[in-house]
Amino acid sequence: MSLVNKFRLINFVIIFSFLGAVLLSYKTNTGVFQKTNELANITKELDFLTSLKTTLTNLNLHLNNYIKDHSMQEKENILKNFQELEQLIVRTKDFKLDEDEMKMVSYLRENISRFAGYVNNIISKPEKTSYYYTLKEELFKKVSEDINKHWLEDIEKVSRVQAESKKTSERIFPAYIVLLLSLLIIAFTINRIISKRIIKPLKIVTDESTYLAGGDLDRRITIKTGDEIETLADNLNKMAEGLKEKIEALEHAVKKEQRVVRELAILNEFMGFISSEVEIDTILIRFAERSRDLLKAKYSALYMIEEGSGIRFYSTDKTLSRDLLDDFIFKNDALNTNIDLLQIKRDNNLQIKLNNESYLKNMILVPVGSTGDLKCILILFNKEGGFTQEDEDSIFSFSFQAFQTISLQYELARLATTDGLTGLYNHRMFQERLDEELIRAKRYKRKLFIMMIDIDHFKRFNDTYGHQTGDEVLKTVARLIKGNLRNIDFPARYGGEEFIIILPETECNDALMVGERLRKLVENYSFFVNENEKARITISVGISCYPGDSMDKTELIKMADEALYYAKKMGRNRVYLYGDIKKV
């Protein structure tokens, strides 16, 4: 065979092998691209389902609140949420849904006008709750059930696509083994028929391509021959670069999906915990723990801020005290400012010493608000490698969704235990707390006082100024009472214009001092009616003592009421102990 024919044969073999490698790379990259697109579409589906679930939950909550109090704010929230629902339905055109999900979306599209009519009817006639129950059954319940089902299906899709992606990646190595063998055959043939000028470059190509086929995609082939061998080397370099980019993109997508699945799993577990727990302190500690686990941090703490009730602090580690955080994290009275002005903060260069000789090295601070009066500041510390932008996105999404549910649970618990007008505990909670305090007082042989308070001439005040003004007086008196007691004292609204207070671990003189302090506060407070007109409000107070007056709960309440009656009999605006009036 002539040299020309041999070169022609060699050229044919090289061209054939090259085209095969390109085809193989194209096929492999196409498979990877398809799986990446499929994962991206599933991500959009999960995002859509999450947004739809959140929007429906918020719409249901605001409708329920509007039916109760008919506020303009709730009306605006309802319209805003319904507009978000309509926008979410329109967004489904931006990505591909499966057949079952399209049925759910089609159901929403076909009935959105009817649901809008129900919402408008509820806004205009909130007392007609039939529209709300129809919406609850046909929209909130039905669509939520579909969302939960599709959510599980999409999670299964993620697992399936990840498995398929892994199989696709596993096929790459055998493919390059085939390519390597082809190149070795070509090198062997060329070594026998051509000069040293061609053998050496091809040997370099063979050796370096072995590393590429083995997965070392950072290596590059450097050949300067000015012929097809150099072109082949350049193409292999480009193939390695392209393959590396595709693999990195796939790994990033898989890692991101795994992170999303983990975040959702933690969120779902926490939501389940909230639904079965009633103690807000336990819920908030669990919230701090799960937030810490989410970002794999070492410490976590949070400040819960409730309007009118001060600040509560929780920590997952006893060495992480409030004093420490107030001094080093919240300088210049940051906690006394509006939480809405705070932003997420990251600091990976801390050097704060703890009591146990360890240090706080980095932190991320997340302020979270809710639709109610409850807000919090969540702080995580000491993540290995520091906190990133992805951590910000993850913790903000998790904490926002989790805290909305916490706020709702807290509000429901508060409504069940407090008086709607004054914000004090209701009569039922007073009876339960008194049982507990009497058991505690008996066990530890301590005194306990019951203080009953009545607003003097309140019926006449209502007849003169109206019940709305009377309600404002009740709220003000309740605020004065609540703001001038110890944390262990228990104030409640007993009924009408009567209030009742449990004073545990107290002596007689102290109980009288508390009664006198409250009496003077009310007497000296400026109650304005009819704009500039000032009214004088006073209270009468009756006090009974356990065990001095009685050891029976019913008798203690009755004795406090008798002491109150005696204070009114003696001219009102007075404080009496039951034990003193028995001596008269």
Does position 535 have pLDDT exceeding 50, yes or no?
A: yes
Which structure tokens are listed for 29? Answer: 């990259």
- Which residues sit opposite 204 in a β-bridge? none
Dist CA 490 CA 58 (whole Å)? 34
Which structure tokens are listed for 429? Answer: 């909670």
Dist CA 419 CA 60 (whole Å)? 24
Span 97-121, average pLDDT: 83
Looking at per-residue confidence, does 330 or 290 come out higher? 290
Does position 45 have pLDDT exceeding 80, yes or no?
A: no
* Residue 337: predicted pLDDT: 47
Span 537-547, average pLDDT: 94
Q: How confident is the model at residue 239 (pLDDT cuts 50, 70, 90)?
A: confident
Which structure tokens are listed for 123? Answer: 């806004």
Q: What is the pLDDT of residues 480-501, one digit of tens each?
A: 999 899 888 999 999 889 999 9
Q: How far lies 357's CA from each of 38, 54, 299, 360, 386, in Å?
A: 50, 44, 15, 10, 20
* Residue 372: predicted pLDDT: 66
Q: How confident is the model at residue 538 (pLDDT cuts 50, 70, 90)?
A: very high
Q: What is the pLDDT of residues 75-86, one digit of tens each?
A: 888 889 888 888
Does position 472 have pLDDT exceeding 60, yes or no?
A: yes
* Residue 332: predicted pLDDT: 46
* Residue 478: predicted pLDDT: 93
Residues of the chain with CATH 1.20.120.1730: 3-200
Q: How many CB atoms lie within 10 A of CB 450?
A: 30
Dist CA 39 CA 191 (whole Å)? 47
Residues of the chain with CATH 3.30.70.270: 427-581
Q: How confident is the model at residue 64 (pLDDT cuts 50, 70, 90)?
A: confident
Which structure tokens are listed for 435? Answer: 């049982």
Looking at per-residue confidence, does 21 or 71 come out higher? 71
Smallest CA-to-CA distance from 62 within 404, 344, 340 is with: 404
Q: How far lies 66's CA from each of 6, 86, 135, 329, 514, in Å?
A: 88, 20, 14, 40, 40
| Beta strand segments in 445-532, E | 448-455, 490-495, 498-504, 527-529
Span 243-258, average pLDDT: 75
Mean of per-residue pLDDT scores for the chain: 81
Does position 181 have pLDDT exceeding 80, yes or no?
A: no
Smallest CA-to-CA distance from 456 within 335, 564, 580, 336 is with: 564
State the amino acid at position 432 in one-letter form: E
277-414, CATH topology level: Beta-Lactamase (3.30.450)
Element (H, E) at 3: helix 3-69
* pTM for this model (two decimals): 0.43
Residue in the structure block whose two tokens are 């190149």: 183
Beta carbons within 8 Å of 231's beta carbon, 6+ residues apart: none
Least confident range of 361-370, 445-454, 495-504, 544-553: 361-370
Smallest CA-to-CA distance from 207 within 183, 186, 234 is with: 183
Does position 46 have pLDDT exceeding 70, yes or no?
A: yes
Which structure tokens are listed for 305? Answer: 């801020």
- Is the domain covering 3-200 a CATH 2.40.50.100 domain? no
- What whole-number percentage of the chain has pLDDT above 90? 20
Does position 97 have pLDDT exceeding 70, yes or no?
A: yes
Does position 436 have pLDDT exceeding 50, yes or no?
A: yes
Question: 316 and 301 in contact (C-beta within 8 Å)?
Answer: yes
Residue in the structure block whose two tokens are 């009999």: 569
Dist CA 453 CA 65 (whole Å)? 32
427-581, CATH topology level: Alpha-Beta Plaits (3.30.70)
* Residue 452: predicted pLDDT: 96
Question: Residue 319 phi/psi, 5° resolution?
Answer: -75, -15
Span 424-443, average pLDDT: 91
* Residue 6: predicted pLDDT: 47
Does position 2 have pLDDT exceeding 50, yes or no?
A: no
Residues of the chain with CATH 3.30.450.40: 277-414
Span 442-451, average pLDDT: 93
* Residue 170: predicted pLDDT: 67
DSSP letters, 268-313, are HHHHHHHHH---HHHHHHHHHHHHHHHHTEEEEEEEEEETTTEEEE
- Which residues sit opposite 368 in a β-bridge? 376
Q: How confident is the model at residue 371 (pLDDT cuts 50, 70, 90)?
A: low
Q: What is the pLDDT of residues 171-180, one digit of tens each?
A: 666 766 776 7
β-pairing, 527-529 vs 533-535, is antiparallel
Looking at per-residue confidence, does 302 or 257 come out higher? 302
Span 530-542, average pLDDT: 88
Dist CA 460 CA 130 (whole Å)? 41
- What whole-number percentage of the chain has pLDDT above 70? 85
State the amino acid at position 212 in one-letter form: L
State the amino acid at position 495 in one-letter form: G
Q: How confident is the model at residue 473 (pLDDT cuts 50, 70, 90)?
A: very high
